[in-house]
Amino acid sequence: MDNIKATKNQKEKTFPAVIVKVIDDFKVVINRGTLHKIRKGQQFLLYKLSEEEIKDPASGESLGYLEITKGTGKIIHVQERISTIESNKREPSERRIVRKKSMSPFFSSFTGEEEEETIVPSGRLVPFDDPIVGDKAKPI
Question: Which pLDDT tens digit goes with each residue over 42-84?
Answer: 999 999 999 999 999 999 999 999 999 999 999 999 999 999 9
Decide if domain 2-89+125-139 falls under CATH 2.40.10.410: yes
The rounded distance, in Å, linking the Cα atoms of 21 and 74 is: 16
Distances from the Cα of 31 to the Cα of 3, 18, 20, 88, angstroms: 25, 6, 6, 19
Distances from the Cα of 38 to the Cα of 42, 69, 77, 102, angstroms: 7, 21, 10, 57
pLDDT in tens, 13-29: 789 999 999 999 999 99
- Provide the whole-model pTM: 0.71
Domain with CATH 2.40.10.410 in the chain: 2-89+125-139
Q: Residue 125 pLDDT > 70, yes or no?
A: yes
